[in-house]
Structures are given as structure tokens and as C-alpha cells.
Amino acid sequence: MELLKRLSASGRRLLLGVVVTAFAVVASACDTNVGPQDYLSPEGPVARKADGLWDLTFGIAVAIFVIVEALLVYTIIRFRRRPGREAAQFHGNTKLEVILTLIPTLILAGLAVPTVKAIADLSDKPEGALNVTVTAKQFWWQYEYPDAGVVTANEMHVPTGQPVYLTLEGADVIHSFWIPKLTGKQDVVPGRKNNMYFVADRPGTYWGQCTEFCGLSHANMRLRVIAQEPADFEQWLAEQQEPAAGTVSGAAAQGQEIFMGTCVNCHAIGGTEARGTTGPDLTHFASRETFAGSMFRNTPDNLKRWIDNPPGVKPGAQMPDYGLSAQEIDAVVAFLQTLK
């Protein structure tokens, strides 16, 4: 309190201005702090288009912010009460008011043009796209490559340079598909089909996650897009088209038996009688880096913990705990690891 009192009146008001502007500066500087989901550093033309609009809008917003706040700060400093000064009694100034209405109108009209144009551009279906059907379920993603007959989960492989055209279908509740560096969000709505597309410029792993609140593990419904050179992508696709590796032996065989007894109800493994569709397709499970909504790295330990008690490690997970013994779990995991 003493400190505040000692600050002169204008000093205090200045402080106000400083705090406020500081945030604008920090906000504009934040581009430099790039995280894996930072959408101010786009890696593809779709995200870049949005980003270009952002730069424009943000620039205008900062300009308006600085001008109006400066005017405010100037006003409160200049017209603070001082002995002998009387308030001027006026009721308005029509001309000024009209001008101050027109200026924002014009600015916004200016902003509207590129916005509408970008909306129109982005709504065209791209030529020569790779089709992928995305189905969102609590709390994981299924990707189907209809032209190749491949189904996988959580990690989407795409070729670089080629547009990827997604058809989004919801199964239970609304989810939203998002890969910040490649494209904005599109909701996945049960009973509807939505579409979106994106292009990845360079190979790499892009992070994303579900952004429509969908229940307990909404936070854990993450995803990865793995962009590969077209040749690598073709190779991956070809591998995925193969059925799962043939016969297994040892612990894995026991695991397979358990699997075919219980897990078949929900999971599919290509080339076997496992055709469940409730859970992710596990045909080439071992080739994935992450699992369960990209929540866990695909390591034996994580897998064991998962199978031991799915809802325990992932709240609300729609896969029950089957009460398998540690030995049985080891066996199942050994089996899963053969699914290259």
C-alpha cells in the first residue's frame, strides 16, 4: 500500500498501460516458443493459409489495441482531477461519433474480404487426393484407406506433397479432428459426414488431438500424423495390406490363444478369425509407435499395464479389465509384438 501511495497518480496509471502492453508484446513474441502443437508455425499449405490470415488479423488487432489503449491511458492521465480544473460540459460530437463508427466498419469490411475468400478456397475438394475415412470413437481414432483396404488406428500415415482428403464419421459422441501444424479442426459428428483436407510439406511426425469434449479421456484422445516421402508411404501401405504374420510359437502362441478367446470380440487381426470392430484393428499393431489414442509409447511395459487394467490407466477407456494373470498378460503382449 505504501508503495502504491508513493507512486504518483500518473505513475500508477502508466503501470496500467505497461502491464497491458506487455501482454501484447509477449503474445506476439510467442511464435518463437514452438511446441509440437503450435499452430503459428504451420507445415502445410492449409494451415499456412489460416496462418496468413492470422498475421493480418493479429496485426490489425494489435494496432487497434495500441491506439485505443493509448488513447485511454492518455485520457485518464491528462484529465485527472487537478485543483482548479473544471470538467467541460459537453454532450457529444456527432461528426466525431460518425467517423469513429465508420473507421471500424471499414476495417472490418477490409478484413471480411480475405476471410470469405479463404473460406471459399478451402472448401474446394482438392485434385488427386488420397482418401482416408476417419472414425472417431471414445477415445481413439480409426483410419481407413478405402482404396487400399487398409485399416489402422491412432497413427495416420500420409504421403508428403499430396493432399489427403478426409471423410470424418462419428460413432458415439462428437469429437474433433485436429493437427495444428497441418490444418484446423473439423468436428466429427455422429450421423453426419464432414470432410477436410490437408497437405504435409515435409516428412515428419505431426501431433494432434481431439478437441471436442467427449468424456473422461478427452484429454487422452491424441493422435499422430506421420508424413512420409511418397515412396516410403507406398511401402508402408503395401505392408499394411499384408495379413498379420503367420504362425507364432512359444509364449506368443499362448497369447494368441487367449486373444482368440477373449479379445476377438472387439479387435480384428487381418488373416485370422478376429474380426471385432469395437476396438482398434490390431493387424499391424506392433508397427505403431503409440497406442490407445497415442497416449502411450508402444513398449511391452506400457502394453502390460494397459491390458492389466485399461480404465485404470486411461479413465473411461471402453476396454474392460479382463483380470488376466501377469503370466497371461506377458503371453498376450508377446503375441501382440508379433503383429508387425
293 near another protein, rule: CB under 8 A: no
Closest-by-Cβ residue to ligand HEA is 104
262 near ligand HEC, rule: CB under 6 A: yes
Q: Grid coordinates standing for 302?
A: 506400457
By CB under 8 A, the residues from 84 to 113 that bind another protein are: 85-94, 96-97, 100-101, 104-105, 108, 111-112
Distances (CA, A) of 255 to 36, 207, 250: 36, 32, 9
Residue 136's Cβ-side half-sphere holds a number of Cα atoms within 13 Å equal to 31
Which of the listed partners (ligand HEA, ligand CUA, ligand HEC, none) does 212 bind, with a CB threshold of 5 to 8 Å by partner kind? ligand CUA
Residue range at the interface with ligand HEC (CB under 6 A); choices 20-28, 45-53, 95-103, 257-265: 257-265
Q: Which is nearer to another protein, 82 or 273 (CB)?
A: 82
Which one of 161, 203, 215, 276 is in contact with another protein (CB under 8 A)? Answer: 215
Are 171 and 139 a contacting pair, CB within 8 Å?
no
How far does CA 38 lie from the centroid of its chain?
A: 10
320 near ligand HEC, rule: CB under 6 A: yes
By CB under 6 A, the residues from 78 to 137 that bind ligand HEC are: none
Instruction: Say if residue 97 is exposed, middle or buried (CB neighbours under 10 Å; 0-12, 13-18, 19+).
Output: exposed
Site string for another protein, 222-261 (x = CB under 8 A): ----------------------------------------
Q: Grid coordinates standing for 334?
A: 508377446
Residue range at the interface with ligand CUA (CB under 6 A); choices 9-17, 71-79, 213-221, 280-288: 213-221
Which one of 131, 133, 211, 309 is in contact with another protein (CB under 8 A)? Answer: 211
Which one of 144, 155, 169, 212 is in contact with ligand CUA (CB under 6 A)? Answer: 212
Which of the listed partners (ligand HEA, ligand HEC, ligand CUA, none) does 104 bind, with a CB threshold of 5 to 8 Å by partner kind? ligand HEA
Distances (CA, A) of 268 to 9, 68, 136, 262: 72, 61, 17, 12
Instruction: Say if residue 101 is exposed, middle or buried (CB neighbours under 10 Å; 0-12, 13-18, 19+).
Output: exposed
Nearest to 46 by CA among 180, 195, 228, 160: 180
Are 148 and 158 a contacting pair, CB within 8 Å?
no
Nearest to 208 by CA among 144, 141, 160: 141
123 near another protein, rule: CB under 8 A: yes
Which of the listed partners (ligand CUA, another protein, ligand HEA, none) does 34 bind, with a CB threshold of 5 to 8 Å by partner kind? another protein
Residue 243's Cβ-side half-sphere holds a number of Cα atoms within 13 Å equal to 9
Residue range at the interface with ligand CUA (CB under 6 A); choices 77-85, 97-105, 209-217, 321-329: 209-217
By CB under 8 A, the residues from 54 to 83 that bind another protein are: 54, 57-58, 61, 64-65, 68-69, 71-72, 75-76, 79-82
Q: Which is nearer to ligand HEA, 53 or 251 (CB)?
A: 53
Q: Which is nearer to another protein, 47 or 269 (CB)?
A: 47
Distances (CA, A) of 235 to 44, 144, 159, 165, 282: 23, 17, 11, 20, 19
How many CB atoms are closer than 10 A to CB 135?
Answer: 20
265 near ligand HEC, rule: CB under 6 A: yes
Interface contacts to ligand CUA, rule CB under 6 A: 136, 139, 175, 210, 212-214, 218, 221
